Structure 1
Amino acid sequence: MRTPIIIDCDPGHDDAIAILLAIANAEKLDLRGITTVGGNQILDKITENALKVISFVNADIPVAKGAAGPLFGKLVTGEEAHGESGMDGPLLPPSKFRPLEEGAVEFMLNIIRSSEEKITLVPMAPLTNIALLITAYPEIKERIEKISLMGGGISYGNVTSTAEFNIFVDPEAARIVFESGIPITMSGLDVTDKAAIFEDEIVALKERGPVSTMVGELLDFYSIYGKKMGYVGSALHDPCAVAWLLRPELFESEHLYVTVETEGKLTRGMTVADKRKKTDRPANVEVLVGVDREAFMKLIFDSLEKLDQELLAAEGN
């Protein structure tokens, strides 16, 4: 049976790859819609990026704009890693599609309420939209099957020594989500840094079809920041949240109690995990900590190849 999902994102190079991964595996994932939130860049830019990605592969998927910034304070963007557009690299054609008039919270609410099956949420951005949804409509939590999110890390951060970007941008929203009681699987830095694509693999992508080539060009730009920071390879953070839904057996995990620090001067945005069971609070998060990188990369390559073939077939008609 196909899993009905909504992707909440801020494209973002790795967001784009995650969206394509979901679209390519439509026999397993029923992508009901995409919502956007200010994060890697400002809301208008990342919404346009989402529309360009789905347009590139002729996927007419509803896109709804959400929160422009966090619940409190000003938006911190990821421009240093993702560029002025939020998805610098290939020059994608203008989108054939436009965002819905309906806002992200209303869109998610209507999809969840009208669905015969429970919906799985796949946030790979600051958790502002998700927090707004479950705060305004707490009864909807019973209609959410689970949340597979990209964010956090139980060992270290990437914006500060303790905080990962998505959680750091809106820790108050993240805390609401983590303490919501909804089943959560967390693809944090502990696993996503292990899901890295290397230079030879990026070159190989660009020797394939149009979608693979576009992704290779995205990664050419995305890898610049990683090299500047001394990383070997480019971590495919966001695709992990989708890959876990497709192939959970590729991942290792631990069930832990996790919450989010919102006040610490040095630790704001930290996902605090009770790894030694020091509290009496039950585990609320399945934390992914390992991945079969080769099998994960094969899933990415095979999925992009499928989209290549579909796009070439459509162009041939």
Structure 2
Amino acid sequence: MPHTLIIDTDPGADDVIALLFAMAAPEALKLEALTTVAGNVPLAKTSRNARLACEWGGRPGIPVHAGAERPLRRAAIHADHVHGQEGITGVAVHEPAVSLAEGHAVDHLIRTLRAAPAHSVTLAMLGPQTNLALALEQAPDIVRGLRELVLMAGAHFNGGNITPVAEFNVFADPHAAEAVLRHCSGVPVTMLPLDVTHRILTSEARIARLRGLGNRAGRIVADILDAYAPQEMRHYGLPGGPVHDATVIAWLLAPSLFSGRAIHVEIDSREGMGFGQTVADWHGSLGRAANVNWIVDGDAQGFFDLLTAHIARLP
């Protein structure tokens, strides 16, 4: 069944690739809007980069609503040491021709989910979960409109990428991630953590296939990966670079590429070494009901085959 989809995002190199991926699958993903949040870089740049993705993907009509400029409670942090000052490395950025859509992202989420049929909207979240947390705080009834949440968030077996235990999207606003899990009890939630994204890695051959497509989108994705992947490889000692957020789109299109199981997950929002950790009760030690479908493995070649086939469809 096709997804009526909103993507909440903080582009970011891997976010841009995820957005292009989603735009190339209109038969399966009815992409209604993008909502942006501060994360990898400040809000002005994530909002510009989301509009650039729409331009590069040949979908300038997709509205982009700017959202939260800062986390709920913690001091703001960014990941420009990974994504560069502009949020995308390897390609030149410019001001897109299409302006931001009118209205704050939080208001758009409330309005859209209230008007939607029950259990009809899939929300893919590729950054800090601040926008949805604010929307749920103001209008808890909107949970009725959600079909499912699919998040690039968390880490357990892999360890973190911003602290030894925390993944960036959760660490950037753990209070928001905590609120989303609390308010969305009963909504199917799938998390694609570092556990799986660090198993789905680039290679020279995989990037070359994307570049060899001969279209603009293929060159852009290849250029981004050529610039983005090496620093991840050096830092983690990996044979290739992860494409974190794009796994969310692959899961929506081909969940059979992935494996995991339903477990109980809580967010540590206490100050200290564990701040921002996703506490994943893999063995059911707490005896609490499962609230997340936690993905731990994926078919790397299947992912890159799917990504490449879709990027080939774009201008």
Q: Which of 213, 220, 236 lines up with 2:219 in the alignment?
A: 213
Give the one of 185, 194, 205 matched to 1:189: 194
1:101 deviation in Å?
A: 2.2
Correspondence for 2:103: 102
Question: What is the rounded CA distance, in whole Å, between the counterparts of 1:164 and 1:239 in structure 2?
Answer: 16
Identity across matched positions, percent:
34
Which residue is 1:88 aligned to? Answer: 89
Q: Secondary structure at the match of 1:177?
A: helix
1:113 positional shift: 2.1
**Tell me, what secondary structure is at the counterpart of 1:190?**
helix
> 239-248 or 221-230: which moved more?
221-230
Shift of 1:93: 4.9
Aligned twin of 2:245:
238
Residue 42 of structure 2 is matched in structure 1 by: 42
DSSP-derived class of the 1:73 partner: coil
Distance 1:184 1:57 in 2: 28
Give CA deviations for 1:210-268 in whole Å, capped at 9, x if unaligned. Answer: 11001111112112321331332110110111111111111001110001001151110
The answer (yes or no) to whether the contact 1:56–1:92 under 8 Å persists in 2 is: no
**Separation in structure 2 between the aligned mates of residue 205 and residue 119 of structure 1, nearest angstrom:** 31
Aligned partners of 1:287, 1:73: CA distance in 2, in Å? 26
Whole-angstrom distance in 2 between the partners of 1:178 and 1:116: 22
- Gaps of at least 5 residues in structure 2 are none
Q: Specify the code of the residue in structure 2 equivalent to 1:246.
A: L
Please give the secondary structure, in 2, of the residue aligned with 1:235.
Answer: coil
Q: 2-side partners of 1:220 and 1:285: how far apart?
A: 33
The answer on 1:284 being equivalent to 2:291 is yes
Q: Indicate whether 1:139 and 2:144 are aligned.
A: no
| SS of 1:283 mapped into structure 2 | coil
Q: Provide TM-score, normalisation by structure 2.
A: 0.94
- Give the structure-1-normalised TM-score: 0.94
Over 3 Å counting, the alpha-carbon distance change for 1:190 and 1:227 in structure 2 is closer
Distance in structure 1 (CA, Å) of the matches to 2:155 and 2:15: 18
Structure 2 Cα separation of the partners of residues 245 and 207 of structure 1: 26
Do structure 1's residue 202 and structure 2's residue 207 form an aligned pair?
A: yes
- Which digits, 9 at most, give the CA deviation of each residue in 1:145-180, with x for residues without a partner? 110000101221111110000000000101111222
SS of residue in 1 equivalent to 2:222: helix
Which whole-Å CA distance do the structure 1 matches of 2:30 and 2:112 have between them?
Answer: 12
Distance 2:95 2:174 in 1: 34
- The aligned runs of 1:113-128 (5 Å cut-off) are 113-116=114-117, 118-128=120-130
Task: Provide the residue aligned with 1:314 in structure 2.
Answer: none
Tell me which amino acid in the other structure corresponds to 1:304: I
- 1:37 offset after TM fit, Å? 0.4
Q: 1:9 to 1:81 in 2, by over 3 A?
A: same
Aligned structure 1 segments of 4 or more residues deviating by more than 3 angstroms: none
Shift of residue 136, structure 1, vs aligned partner = 1.1
2:202·2:229 contact (CA, 8 Å) conserved in 1? no
